[in-house]
Amino acid sequence: MLEVHQLASAYGRIEVLHGIDLHVARGEIVTIVGSNGAGKTTLLRALSGVQPMRAGRIVFEGRQIEKDAAHRRVQLGLAQVPEGRHVFAPLSVQDNLLLGGWTRPAADRRREIEGVYELFPALAERRTQHAGSLSGGQQQMLAIGRALMSQPRLLLLDEPSMGLAPVLVDQIFALLPRLKARGLTVLVVEQNAYAALAAADRGYVMETGRIVASGAASELMHDPSVREAYLGLAAEPAAPLAGAVA
């Protein structure tokens, strides 16, 4: 569904992404993990069209999109949930959702908004409430729901656990298989590597603007260097030799 070839991006004269190559297959949950400042958010912003690229190609469903404006990429089926949520605080929950579906016909918006309320009953109960008065977890639900209103086929999630209590982090990542079951493909960048890899099919590890490792999420979780650098876990002990005495 998504192919990225040698993507480079810069802030002024400082290049922050250096030749990124990755792919996401239809129906996958793929995560990009790495420390703060690794370039994860910049990468998602480049994919969604709000961060200029210096070089490279982005191919989405067989079409090169790196020259398409951000709103055109939404129309093509790619939507981003930004880091920090960025809901429209003075507007109601319902109006936030309707704005997310502005590219869709009115009948589609009415149908999709009910689907969001079914996915997030807490939002349905607060549909007339100002978005700025919601809890952090509810705002994250609203930000995801707003992106779903454009009926994307690829959802980009940027640091969905940021600022949330652990129980809410679990709820957000438990949502990913449900989105996959609805036919969505998901690319998530996340500093909470353990939670992200536990929910993903495959993963990439970023350091200083480069992909330094990739593989099945389960393999990355057991990779000694990934465990020590990103999961805060010691390397797993080696299996005892046959015949060894404890």
- Cα angle at 143 between 171 and 37, to 5 degrees? 85
State the 10-residue block means of pLDDT for the chain, 246 residues long: 97 94 97 91 96 97 96 95 92 95 85 93 95 93 95 95 86 91 94 90 95 94 82 53 42
Cα separations in angstroms, 157 against 14, 45, 141, 170, 229? 25, 11, 12, 15, 22
The pTM (predicted TM-score) of the whole model is: 0.89
Helix (H, G, I), strand (E, B) or coil at 56: strand
* The two structure tokens encoding residue 218: 């389960």
Helix (H, G, I), strand (E, B) or coil at 140: helix
Nearest to 154 by CA among 26, 20, 10: 26
- Number of other CB atoms surrounding residue 206 within 10 Å: 24
Q: At 88, which amino acid appears?
A: F
DSSP per position, 22-38: EEE-TT-EEEEE--TTS
- What is the pLDDT, as a whole number, of residue 235? 53
* The two structure tokens encoding residue 190: 């996340």
- Number of other CB atoms surrounding residue 128 within 10 Å: 9
